[in-house]
Structure 1
Amino acid sequence: MDDLAIRTEGLSKVYGRSPGVRAVDHLTMEVPRGVIFGFLGPNGAGKSTTLKMLTGLLKPTEGTAVVAGHDILQQSIEVKRRIGVVPENLNLYERLTANEYLELVGRLRGLDAETITARRSQLLETLDLADRSDNASVDYSHGMKKKLAMAGALMHRPEILFLDEPFEGVDAVSSRVVKDLLRQMVDRRGVTVFFSTHIMELVERMADIVAVINKGNLVATGSLAALRQQAATDGDASLEDVFLELVNAELAEQDMSWLTS
């Protein structure tokens, strides 16, 4: 088995007619199996576009990628069998209840009825959705919808889990439960978790490996210690300091005395 969960070569996405807007620019990177991989960047950096290409939701303009040992273009069905995805836009079939939604997901994934019932019950309890499992998700809060999407992504025990801003709107207790569960999946089963976010603290606490993307370009990748070295910051520098150094952020000084005085 390939030691890499994800490998990209020159992966690019251009929106619009030539010259267009290059959202991702010749992205080449490797993600080992059995790690939590934090994909960090400011808003509009290309995080969601990259994740959509890797999961088959968006066709690249250029380049290639291999996910779970299969080419995303030539073997897209094999890729989708092996991954779970919580995308930016959840698309939950909101007229279905949580129970109905997870049953549908289980059937689409080829699970038998007994397995669907058992896993659905456990996931709903773990994610604190059991009490509302007979309600249509259209009435759920954003955080509850995010948790239901997470449950759907986990139903078939994926090899690789792709999460786009996974904890946005999710309550603190459920966030902690999910983080602990993800770590156990990685440590015990060798699952790979690829999550994109702009929240520094989340990456600092969760990620084994961090990649920084800015304006569609991969700026750096490695452990936090390696990123500190690349950014030429001291060993105690926070991820925020490292990130700002790597993306050459210029903090504009404005006269805001009208607001602060």
Structure 2
Amino acid sequence: MTLVAGILLFVAGLLSGAINAVAGGGTFLTFGAMTLFGVPPIAANATSSIVQFPGYITSALAYRKEIAREWKPILILSAISLVGSLGGALLLLSLDNPSFKKLVPWLLLAATALFAAGPKLRPKVEKEHPPSSPVGILTQLVTSVYGGFFGAGMGIMMLASLGLATGGDYHRLNAIKNFLSIVIAAVAIVVFTAGGAISWLHAIIMLPGAGIGGYYGVWLAKRVPQKWMRYAVIAVGVFLAGYYFFKA
């Protein structure tokens, strides 16, 4: 790896942490940067899970009081998410790089469309109820399979599925989502590590950048309109989807 490549990967991690803090969608940058520098798509996807993981933890810590109050629905949904993430991660490892590469542009398009529609998918304030709805549980299972397989856009999907599964206001759902993101990512990371799919050199380079970006992203969020950050993420998603369609 050249010095220039290392610097650009660090910057990609930095920007992904900042974008996640402001609008979400940082996976587009980490995945895209690694593949553009020659990392096989499966390894790039798996390594992105490592890079984004610290941000999930800090986000959950910010909601620790809400999470403590919601331990019952979190326990049920964690079990569902664990099974789904395990299935998604194993499904990814069952593919070879050429097969996964053909799926990448479609996955990126779907994730970009989901990200663009994110504000409209935020659940309305509803009465809280136990996570016993078959439709809600099924959508959370599907979301966790997707998160284990390809994590971009997972947060938006999960807010929508949690609205069905357990209801409540946005902050309640966001707190549960942040904890479940840790579960989904942790299971995927264990599977990817056991399967030898993670590029640790790239992860080590980007992790400090992602941590710094996440910290200062809060400062950025107070000064840059969120819609412009969202537009930037959508532009990156569309560009990468077009790139992989061309390369397929």
Superposition TM-score, scaled by structure 2 size: 0.30
Richer in strand (by share): 1
Q: Larger Cα Rg: Structure 1 or Structure 2?
A: 1
Richer in helix (by share): 2
Which of structures 1 and 2 has the larger relative contact order (alpha carbons within 8 angstroms, sep 6+)?
2
Superposition TM-score, scaled by structure 1 size: 0.29
